Amino acid sequence: MANTGEKVLIIGAGGQIGLELTENLSKIWGASNVVPTDLKPTESFKNNPFEQMDALDKDALFGIVKKHKITQVYHLAALLSATGEQKPMSAWKLNMESLFHVLDLAKEKYIKQVYWPSSIAVFGPTTPRENTPQYTVMEPSTVYGISKQAGERWCEWYFQKHGVDARSLRYPGLIGWKSAPGGGTTDYAVHIFHEALKTASYECFLSENTTLPMMHMEDAIRATIEIMQAPAEKVKIRGSYNLSGISFSPKEIANEIKKHIPEFKISYKPDFRQAIADSWPKSIDDSRAREDWGWKVKYDLPKLVENMLVNLKEHNLVK
Ligand code: NAD
Ligand code: AKB
């Protein structure tokens, strides 16, 4: 049976994370208590009270929060790293202004809690790349990374000055079978599975040895819900927590796929996303998340690859 008590708003619910988060939060709070919002409706929300909303429209956001007596907001709408480099000013506007709207709602006590994701994109070429610490040099070289770094600082500022209970994770690249990625540098690690099952070949836009931090979507959703449900005093970092899953390169994931599809072939044609990937860490130290609120990853690379191939096939989701 679903819990009661919270009324949850998800902004950008139609995206890669939002679709799965809506499903999971609906199991916890009941579908009628979870309000997904996005620029356009999708079929996935037939059991939830979906609202069409532009995250930049502060009045619409305030109206929906009041109408549904929302207590928690998960704010996911953003332009990601690759799209952000193509549309820098749109990325800056959306990623920053929409965050202020949500933080202001919490400051004015309309809502009790905010979740806002950050990213490994907060790090840059001058950051130590192996086992990147929680606190280190951060000079992001993408508009997306700059917006995430600024967002972290604003979340912390609203917490310190106004007592806003904002919580955040620096997600690595996320890989799931239920939803498609939306314009990031790590998107190859989802596309590769679809192409492997469809054509047994994939042309990768990153070079073969580009190692990046990644995570199965199930782990990421669990981490998100765990940090939101942790007692406030355990959430000691109010910027954003490092979060680590697994690290691999295109060559390594291709080799793992070959164990299931021996004829699978990968080729490499790096594009502008290579420079973005080269500026990001290879692996992340998430000891603070483990110590503070008990984070523990479940999926390693072999489990992730098996899970993706089995589910994409079983649910007929190859695109
Ligand atoms: P996505 O691009 O798949 O989804 C974003 C959603 O926001 C889309 O459904 C889009 O329609 C919606 N949106 C865009 N502009 C909007 C607007 N003006 N008003 C309302 N909705 C709007 O992104 P995602 O992968 O689900 O990422 C969600 C959040 O998680 C983002 O903040 C992203 O930076 C962060 N994140 C994602 C990853 C990842 O690998 N997916 C990694 C790190 C951080
Ligand atoms: C992207 O590649 O932009 C995202 C991210 C790591 O933030 N997946």
Architecture of domain 8-173+217-242: 3-Layer(aba) Sandwich (3.40)
Residue 309 pLDDT > 90: yes
Residue 250 pLDDT > 50: yes
In sequence order, what are the residues at sequence separation of 6 or more whose Cβ sits closer than 8 angstroms to the Cβ of residue 248? 211, 212, 214, 256, 301
Residue 116 pLDDT > 80: yes
Atom of ligand 2 nearest to the CA of 172: 6
Residue 278 pLDDT > 80: yes
Structural contact between residues 177 and 301, judged by C-beta atoms closer than 8 angstroms: no
* Per-residue pLDDT tens digits for 129-142: 999 999 999 999 99
Q: Which ligand is nearest to the CA of 148?
A: 1
For the segment 285-290, the average pLDDT, to the nearest whole number, is 98
Give, as one character, the DSSP assignment of residue 273: H
The per-residue pLDDT of the chain, averaged, comes to 97
For the segment 220-228, the average pLDDT, to the nearest whole number, is 98
Residue 1 pLDDT > 50: no
Please, where in the chain does CATH 3.40.50.720 lie?
A: 8-173+217-242
| Block residue for tokens 């790293």 | 81
For the segment 119-146, the average pLDDT, to the nearest whole number, is 98
Residue 3 pLDDT > 90: no
Structural contact between residues 123 and 145, judged by C-beta atoms closer than 8 angstroms: yes
User: Which strands form 241-242's sheet, in the order they lie side by side?
Assistant: 118-119, 169-171, 241-242
* Per-residue pLDDT tens digits for 150-170: 999 999 999 999 999 999 999
pLDDT, residue 155, reads: 98
Please indicate whether residue 279, judged by its CB atom, sits closer than 6 Å to ligand 2: no
Q: By alpha-carbon position, which residue is closest to atom 41 of ligand 1?
A: 174
In sequence order, what are the residues at sequence separation of 6 or more whose Cβ sits closer than 8 angstroms to the Cβ of residue 43? none
Please, where in the chain does CATH 3.90.25.10 lie?
A: 174-213+246-283+299-314
Atom of ligand 1 nearest to the CA of 120: 43
- What pTM value is reported for the model? 0.97
Q: Does domain 174-213+246-283+299-314 have CATH number 3.40.50.12280?
A: no
Distance 78 CA to ligand 1 centre (A): 5
Residue 55 pLDDT > 80: yes
Worst-scoring range by mean pLDDT, 44-48, 147-151, 222-226? Answer: 44-48
Structural contact between residues 147 and 91, judged by C-beta atoms closer than 8 angstroms: yes
For the segment 245-257, the average pLDDT, to the nearest whole number, is 98
Please indicate whether residue 80, judged by its CB atom, sits closer than 6 Å to ligand 2: yes
Specify whether 202 is catalytic.
no
Q: By alpha-carbon position, which residue is closest to atom 8 of ligand 1?
A: 15
For the segment 179-191, the average pLDDT, to the nearest whole number, is 96
Q: What is the distance between the alpha carbons of residues 285 and 271, in angstroms, rounded to a whole number? A: 28
